[in-house]
Amino acid sequence: MAEHGGNQVVDSHTVLYGVIGDPIRHSKSPIMMNRAFRETGINGVYAAFHITSETLPAFVEGVRAMGIRGVNVTIPHKLQIMELVDEIDAGALAIGAVNTIVNDNGKLVGYNTDGIGYVRSLKEEAEPDLAGKRIVVIGAGGASRGIVYALLREKPDSVAIANRTVERAEELAESLGGATAGLTAIPNEKLRDWCGDADIVINTTSVGMYPNVGLSPIEAGWMKPGAVASDLIYNPLRTEFLLQAEASGCRTHGGLGMFIYQGAYAFEYWTGQAAPVEAMRETVLASLQV
Ligand code: ATR
């Protein structure tokens, strides 16, 4: 592509991408994705758009009219957008949320890269083989749903979903195949026993997120040394749960990788090229440490 003084030049061939949400100005996606375009020499530019529920339909028309190639969709639009695209990928349909749109010559296809992004990050950063593993997932909200869906495709021995409101864990387990898929719902009171037996424990709740940085969803000392403690939270990068787990001899996996890899999958769907994951991580880390 056109280069000028080491900088990417926006010209009349530049392809548009972006992220939508409400709020959106905190998003790290633009710096991460523009780095990915620069790194691969793709003539694309990625911006953040503040879109509300009211302006979402008009935005989607804009995507069609302007030929915007790809959109990431974040809070609060991951459900509403499903009614506005032309086709929904089977995984996104099962998860019940869309976070990525690919515009294929006017046909808008919705995907969900959150769960598969998380699992790719877990495999590349902490535990390469999830087959046969005993996994505990704490929390039964939207994030948990995508992750459990993606974990099941890795053929773990079992996935136990614990939730403060156990009915929500039961509904989630049932809707993704229940006991036949190796899924069990447990109340938080049973976490101690299940964590003692688990190979991987994943926190999908907001417990421990800034500003409540001193809180942990479990006592990490319940876990076996060598087991993996994984937290979706990336602010702070190292949560109380991970700090405690490390002190107990566990391996730890933070939430930044999920953000990077959900973006990596989106990049790959849009461009057909492998995402420059390490460059993306470097850019996001640098921006967090400012
Ligand atoms: P997300 O899409 O990020 O998963 P969500 O759908 O609101 O957000 O789900 C939040 C999850 O964190 C839920 O599992 C919630 O438990 P409940 O279903 O019982 O509400 C869990 N959660 C949030 N705050 C919590 C707390 N202080 N203690 C325990 N669980 C908590």
Q: Is the CB of 271 under 6 A from ligand 1?
A: no
Residue 2: other Cβ atoms inside 10 A: 12
Q: Quick one: residue 208, left, alpha or beta (phi over 0 = left, psi -120 to 50 = alpha)?
A: left
| Angle, CA 95 vertex, CA 134 and CA 185 arms, to 5° | 40
Smallest CA-to-CA distance from 17 within 42, 40, 52 is with 42
At 232-250, the pLDDT tens digits run: 999 999 999 999 999 999 9
Given the CA of residue 168, which atom of ligand 1 is nearest to it?
18
Q: Which of 164, 188, 235 to mutate to test the pocket of ligand 1 (most atoms within 8 A of CB)?
A: 164
Distance CA 151, CA 89 (A): 17
**pLDDT on residue 4:** 46
Parse the chain into domains and list their residue ranges: 15-112+258-288, 115-253
pLDDT at 3 over 90: no
Tell me, in angstroms, the distance from the centre of ligand 1 to residue 141's CA. 6
Domains 15-112+258-288 and 115-253 share a fold: yes
Portion of the chain with pLDDT greater than 90, in percent: 97
pLDDT average, residue stretch 179-202: 97
Architecture per CATH, domain 15-112+258-288, reads as 3-Layer(aba) Sandwich (3.40)
Sheet holding 251-253, edge to edge: 183-187, 158-163, 134-138, 200-203, 228-231, 251-253
Q: Is the CB of 207 under 6 A from ligand 1?
A: yes
Portion of the chain with pLDDT greater than 70, in percent: 97
DSSP 82: G
At 131-175, the pLDDT tens digits run: 999 999 999 999 999 999 999 999 999 999 999 999 999 999 999
At 62-83, the pLDDT tens digits run: 999 999 999 999 999 999 999 9
Residue 15 pLDDT level (bands cut at 50, 70, 90): very high
Tell me, in angstroms, the distance from the centre of ligand 1 to residue 139's CA. 6
Q: Which of 78, 123, 133, 155 is catalytic?
A: 78
Nearest residue CA, atom 6 of ligand 1? Answer: 141
Whether 120 contacts 109, CB under 8 Å = no
Nearest residue CA, atom 3 of ligand 1? Answer: 143
Architecture per CATH, domain 115-253, reads as 3-Layer(aba) Sandwich (3.40)
Distance CA 140, CA 62 (A): 34
78 is catalytic: yes
Whether 141 contacts 204, CB under 8 Å = yes
Tell me, in angstroms, the distance from the centre of ligand 1 to residue 144's CA. 9
pLDDT at 5 over 50: no
At 202-217, the pLDDT tens digits run: 999 999 999 999 999 9
Tell me, in angstroms, the distance from the centre of ligand 1 to residue 232's CA. 12
Given the CA of residue 144, which atom of ligand 1 is nearest to it?
4
pLDDT at 52 over 60: yes
Nearest residue CA, atom 21 of ligand 1? Answer: 205
**pLDDT on residue 289:** 83
**pLDDT on residue 7:** 63
pLDDT at 56 over 60: yes
Residues 6+ apart with CB under 8 A from 133: 127, 156, 157, 199, 200
Tell me, in angstroms, the distance from the centre of ligand 1 to residue 205's CA. 5
Work out the mean pLDDT of the chain and round it to a whole number. Answer: 96
Q: What does the block give as tokens for 237?
A: 């990068």
